[in-house]
Amino acid sequence: MIDKSEMLINILERYDVRYNPNRSGEQSVSCPNKEAHDDRNPSCSVNIGKGVLFCQGCGLSGDAYSVVMVIEGVPFVKAIEQLGQPYTISESDFLTI
Protein backbone atom coordinates (compact mmCIF):
# COMPACT_ATOMS: atom_id res chain seq x y z
CA MET A 1 0.00 0.00 0.00
CA ILE A 2 1.47 3.28 -1.08
CA ASP A 3 0.82 6.51 0.71
CA LYS A 4 0.07 8.93 -2.08
CA SER A 5 -0.21 11.89 0.28
CA GLU A 6 3.26 11.24 1.60
CA MET A 7 4.67 10.94 -1.89
CA LEU A 8 3.07 14.13 -3.09
CA ILE A 9 4.50 15.95 -0.07
CA ASN A 10 7.94 14.64 -1.07
CA ILE A 11 7.39 16.07 -4.51
CA LEU A 12 6.28 19.46 -3.25
CA GLU A 13 9.38 19.67 -1.09
CA ARG A 14 11.67 18.47 -3.83
CA TYR A 15 10.51 21.25 -6.15
CA ASP A 16 10.41 23.88 -3.41
CA VAL A 17 6.67 24.38 -3.51
CA ARG A 18 5.19 26.13 -0.51
CA TYR A 19 2.11 24.42 0.87
CA ASN A 20 0.12 24.13 4.05
CA PRO A 21 0.86 20.71 5.57
CA ASN A 22 -2.14 20.93 7.87
CA ARG A 23 -4.62 21.21 5.08
CA SER A 24 -5.73 17.92 3.58
CA GLY A 25 -8.27 19.35 1.15
CA GLU A 26 -7.62 21.48 -1.90
CA GLN A 27 -5.17 24.35 -1.73
CA SER A 28 -3.50 26.59 -4.27
CA VAL A 29 0.23 26.40 -4.65
CA SER A 30 2.70 27.55 -7.26
CA CYS A 31 3.32 24.98 -9.95
CA PRO A 32 6.25 22.59 -9.41
CA ASN A 33 6.81 22.56 -13.17
CA LYS A 34 8.99 25.67 -13.17
CA GLU A 35 10.46 24.82 -16.55
CA ALA A 36 7.05 25.10 -18.13
CA HIS A 37 6.07 28.44 -16.71
CA ASP A 38 6.84 31.01 -14.09
CA ASP A 39 3.97 30.58 -11.68
CA ARG A 40 3.95 33.67 -9.54
CA ASN A 41 0.20 33.60 -9.01
CA PRO A 42 -0.40 30.06 -7.79
CA SER A 43 -2.44 28.32 -10.47
CA CYS A 44 -1.81 24.81 -9.29
CA SER A 45 -4.35 23.20 -7.03
CA VAL A 46 -3.11 20.42 -4.83
CA ASN A 47 -5.01 17.95 -2.69
CA ILE A 48 -2.61 16.45 -0.20
CA GLY A 49 -5.25 14.15 1.25
CA LYS A 50 -5.75 12.51 -2.13
CA GLY A 51 -2.15 12.94 -3.19
CA VAL A 52 -3.01 14.62 -6.48
CA LEU A 53 -2.55 17.99 -8.10
CA PHE A 54 -3.77 19.89 -11.12
CA CYS A 55 -2.23 22.96 -12.71
CA GLN A 56 -4.43 25.24 -14.78
CA GLY A 57 -1.36 26.94 -16.21
CA CYS A 58 0.43 24.04 -17.84
CA GLY A 59 -2.03 21.18 -17.45
CA LEU A 60 0.22 19.20 -15.15
CA SER A 61 -1.99 16.77 -13.30
CA GLY A 62 -2.08 13.51 -11.42
CA ASP A 63 -0.17 11.97 -8.55
CA ALA A 64 3.49 12.09 -7.56
CA TYR A 65 4.47 9.66 -10.33
CA SER A 66 2.79 11.69 -13.05
CA VAL A 67 4.45 14.84 -11.78
CA VAL A 68 7.94 13.32 -11.83
CA MET A 69 7.31 11.77 -15.25
CA VAL A 70 6.33 15.12 -16.73
CA ILE A 71 8.84 17.37 -15.01
CA GLU A 72 11.83 15.05 -15.32
CA GLY A 73 10.72 13.65 -18.64
CA VAL A 74 11.23 10.08 -17.48
CA PRO A 75 9.18 6.91 -17.94
CA PHE A 76 7.10 5.40 -15.16
CA VAL A 77 9.79 2.96 -13.99
CA LYS A 78 12.29 5.79 -13.56
CA ALA A 79 9.73 7.83 -11.68
CA ILE A 80 9.28 4.97 -9.24
CA GLU A 81 13.04 4.84 -8.82
CA GLN A 82 13.26 8.55 -8.18
CA LEU A 83 10.52 8.39 -5.61
CA GLY A 84 12.41 5.67 -3.82
CA GLN A 85 9.59 3.18 -4.12
CA PRO A 86 10.20 -0.52 -4.52
CA TYR A 87 9.41 -2.24 -7.79
CA THR A 88 6.70 -4.29 -6.14
CA ILE A 89 4.19 -1.61 -7.01
CA SER A 90 1.37 -2.88 -9.17
CA GLU A 91 -0.03 -1.16 -12.20
CA SER A 92 -3.38 -0.83 -10.46
CA ASP A 93 -1.82 1.34 -7.74
CA PHE A 94 -0.86 3.77 -10.45
CA LEU A 95 -4.27 3.82 -12.07
CA THR A 96 -6.33 4.51 -8.97
CA ILE A 97 -5.79 8.25 -9.02
Which residues contribute to the site for Zn ion (CB under 5 A)?
31, 33, 55, 57-58, 60
Whichever of 31 and 68 has its CB closer to Zn ion, that residue is: 31
Whichever of 40 and 96 has its CB closer to Zn ion, that residue is: 40
Least distance to Zn ion, CB of residue 46, Å: 11
Residues in the chain: 97
SS in 3 state form for the chain?
CCCHHHHHHHHHHHCCCCCCCCCCCEEEECCCCCCCCCCCCCCEEEECCCCEEEECCCCCEECHHHHHHHHHCCCHHHHHHHCCCCCCCCHHHHHCC
Whichever of 33 and 66 has its CB closer to Zn ion, that residue is: 33
Least distance to Zn ion, CB of residue 16, Å: 14
Least distance to Zn ion, CB of residue 78, Å: 21
Least distance to Zn ion, CB of residue 77, Å: 24
Q: Which residues pair with 45 in a beta bridge?
A: 28, 54
Whichever of 46 and 80 has its CB closer to Zn ion, that residue is: 46
